[in-house]
Chain A
């Protein structure tokens, strides 16, 4: 029944070693989002894909990249993880344009990233 699936649930990487987090969805939604949620802080949008169009938030570090090879999958690449990148990373999807269910996002369970 899981509709937005994130793998792995827990990821440990070394300082500076590239890491990729993955997200897949069975909802056939055309928009996919990545949020970063640090401990005791609000989730913060990093970027999103609207169909194939990539939309980066202005304050997202260049260290963070994303790929969306098809509708179902989206990846978050961290090129050189630093200690400050340890966080929960949330993937979400929605259907656009808004319509009747406008704005509702469906979340995965998240990937908790640790950087050693």
Chain B
């Protein structure tokens, strides 16, 4: 079984500043993926970034990067140069990669507010 914990129900950041969202997970699997998904109000959830557990290098997508600490089972998301459009609910999720079609296990989410 997998569990994902997001300890920050809400975060606020000034526009153009940097913010880090925390996530910890627990899994007995050796092969898994980790994800951050963004869910804007009344819109569909979209992928922000993905990390394969066997890769040591942290994933980066433009202003979004992760700090993946496998031993600590930590997977935080850093958003640089925050923009108003970044305001959304952010979900951390894990998935066993060996099955090919397993579902995602989500955390409860962090509501990110961007202050203009």
Contacts and interface: CB of A to CB of B under 8 A. Distances in A.
B103 A103 contact: no
A104 B50 contact: yes
A42 B35 CA distance: 14
Interface in A66-109: 90, 92, 94, 96-98, 102-105, 107-109
A108 B46 CA distance: 9
A115 interface: no
A109 B43 contact: yes
A43 to B, nearest CB: 5
Contacts of A108: 44
Interface size of B as a range:
20 to 34
B101 A31 contact: yes
B16 interface: no
Contact of A110 (B44, B46, B101): B44
Interface of B: 4, 33, 35, 37, 42-47, 50, 52, 91, 95, 97, 100-101, 103-109
